[in-house]
Amino acid sequence: MTNRYDEVYRRSLDDPEGFWAEAARDIDWYEPWDKVLDDSNAPFYRWFTGGVVNTCYNALDRHVDGGRADQTALIYDSPITGKIEKFSYRELRDQVAVFAGALRNLGVEKGDRVLIYMSLSPQAAIAMLACARLGAIHSVVFGGFAANELTTRINDAKPKVIVASSCGIEPGRIVAYKPLLDQAIEVATEKPTHCIIHQREQQVADMVLGRDIDWNDAVANAEPAECVPVAATDPLYIIYTSGTTGVPKGVVRDNGGHMVVLKWSMKNVYGIDPGDVWWAASDVGWVVGHSYIVYGPLVHGATSVLFEGKPVGTPDPGVYWRVIEEHGVKAMFTAPTAFRAIKRDDPKGEYLKKYDLSKFETLFLAGERADPDTIQWAEDKLKVPVLDHWWQTETGWPALANCVGLGTLPVKHGSPTKPVPGYDIQVLDENCNRVAAGDIGAISVKLPLPPGCLPTLWHNDDGYISSYLSEFPGFYKTADAGYEDENGYFYVMSRTDDIINVAGHRLSTGGMEEVVASHQDVAECAVIGVADALKGQVPLGFAVLNAGVNRPEYEICVEIVQLVRDTIGPVAAFKIVTVVARLPKTRSGKVLRGTMRKIADGESFKIPATIDDPVILDEISDALKELGYAKEK
């Protein structure tokens, strides 16, 4: 394909209204917009004001009416339960319409909130789409979140109805959701009128008389609901992300702009055509699940895989290859940590040899920094392009990417490539001035943000400004640090909090992690900055070794230190690294570097609600104490 990136990107910045108006023609509208970009209340920009749409109609009904009724819309593949289910567009539309009717029977109307607290199942996607069908605003909370975290979200969103699973299923264990939900509602100041409970056979929950309704009973008494027209600027959903004060921030997503950019991105960023099989290996509790399990692929008319499993252990490191072969996946999206886990357990790629991946064309990585070593391992084993890209919960869709549909650009390992059309991304210093090529600064996006990005926080305009817009006037603060090279490629090195100051030198822990990860025996790693009386901060490394490594750990640590010294130089002051069995992560795979730093410096910290396994923090604390850190102050 001829590369069209430069031309398309330039047009998106020179004529954003014309650019996005053209993209919006791929969406079905009840009424056209009056204005593409409404800047009358800046910095609260709105896209497609005056337009009237329905997201569920565009995701399901128009495909049923337009000739895709019998095409598979959703494939549910659960190695944990041993189930595979396929839903055609007609079948999914019909089930969504009936569940929307069940919600309507409980009084849910346009603008009401519905909180969804479910395991990764078809019913979670059905509940989301049913809310969109009614014009209700859903807020999905990752299943298994602690009761107090669930309570804060209930109090903020004030849902009329909560839809929940009885339990979640993890490898080797059942996680009971219903007791957590009951506890959260008991403490909450805002109470839902009803809860619909999807009873999973692995653990049937006790019901609260008068409040709780079994999913099957709810749909048995419901008539299908039609799509309710809503304003393009009306909220589709609220998704909560961590706040610095401990109170979660409710990121709002609108209906119109959201659909336009997701439809556009499926082809232009990911190279997916209607009818192709696409797999985003994530969860509907995260923004990736919203954008690229449910809404993006379905609005585009593709087939979406919903996978309830893990990259290793369900049952082995070959499960991803099995899913790709069995369902004919053309492209997939997952987190780098998934591939680090596969590489750790199967470093030679033996499981890959068992499967036919001839239909597989592209692997996309996002969610955390993709170290070059992991990318190169995946390239070598898969023999397809492995493309890092970068975006956030707040943006809702990619901001830096190698846009396959516009013609793949040359890959630079360690870089998510260039800004996606619509995004004017700049690297700034503390005075809001653009830094020179190669210099590290704050990665920022010039306002207005393109369609699909957050227009504000839920009932918190002041928080939107203070969290994202006040530090760099005229720009959205991503809170990520990095640099742009002389060819316009961006490198996202770390969170701004992870830029450490070693004796006056600003250094990126992400750059050091790249070097550590390149060691032949290292499966994954983390580098944090810890307090030092002489230098201010010094880096401290953690390394998880590949399976089968049988050498003394101290030898490996010596080699790693020398590798960093040879690559970055003595200025890095990298002298301490320790081998650990695993790293503390969120359930989406992000390493909890900030929490590790607080443990090392003896600061008080709150165990993150999203942590995968809190026991790991005790292991990290013990390792740090052996090194002379983690002392109570």
Which has more pLDDT, 518 or 395? Answer: 395
CATH no. for 503-626: 3.30.300.30
pLDDT, tens digit (0-9, with 9 covering 90-100), for 1-45: 568 999 999 999 999 999 999 999 999 999 999 999 999 999 999
244 falls in which pLDDT band (50, 70, 90)? very low
Residue 163's pLDDT is what?
98
Which has more pLDDT, 633 or 596? Answer: 596
Lowest mean pLDDT among 244-253, 337-346, 533-542: 244-253
Which has more pLDDT, 618 or 278? Answer: 278
What percent of the chain has a predicted confidence (pLDDT) above 70? Answer: 95
Question: Which residues of the chain does CATH 3.40.50.12780 include?
Answer: 5-309+389-482
pLDDT, tens digit (0-9, with 9 covering 90-100), for 345-391: 999 999 999 999 999 999 999 987 788 888 999 999 999 999 999 99
pLDDT, tens digit (0-9, with 9 covering 90-100), for 318-339: 999 999 999 999 999 998 889 9
- Alpha-carbon distance of 338 to 320, in angstroms, equals 10
Could you name the CATH architecture of 5-309+389-482? 3-Layer(aba) Sandwich (3.40)
The yes-or-no verdict on residue 586 having pLDDT over 50 is: yes
Residue 552's pLDDT is what?
92
pLDDT, tens digit (0-9, with 9 covering 90-100), for 42-66: 999 999 999 999 999 999 999 999 9
The yes-or-no verdict on residue 291 having pLDDT over 50 is: yes
- Alpha-carbon distance of 71 to 85, in angstroms, equals 14
Nearest Cα neighbor of 558 from 544, 546, 574, 582 is 574
The yes-or-no verdict on residue 623 having pLDDT over 70 is: yes
CB 510 within 8 A of CB 524: no
The yes-or-no verdict on residue 632 having pLDDT over 60 is: no
Q: Which two tokens stand for residue 580?
A: 């650990």
- Alpha-carbon distance of 196 to 18, in angstroms, equals 44
Average pLDDT of every residue of the chain: 92
Report which listed range, 423-427, 575-579, 623-627, is most confident.
Answer: 423-427
Which residues are paired to 417 by β-bridges? 490
- Alpha-carbon distance of 6 to 423, in angstroms, equals 13
> The whole model's pTM is what?
0.85
Which has more pLDDT, 604 or 507? Answer: 604
CA dist list (Å): 370 to 264, 387, 415: 25, 9, 8
The yes-or-no verdict on residue 104 having pLDDT over 50 is: yes
Phi, psi of 611 (to 5 degrees): -65, 140
CB contact set of 307 (below 8 Å; sequence gap of 6+): 77, 78, 120, 279, 281, 323
Give the mean pLDDT of 429-453.
Answer: 95
- Alpha-carbon distance of 459 to 515, in angstroms, equals 44
Residue 8's pLDDT is what?
98
Which has more pLDDT, 86 or 146? Answer: 86
The yes-or-no verdict on residue 187 having pLDDT over 70 is: yes
Question: Which residues of the chain does CATH 3.30.300.30 include?
Answer: 503-626
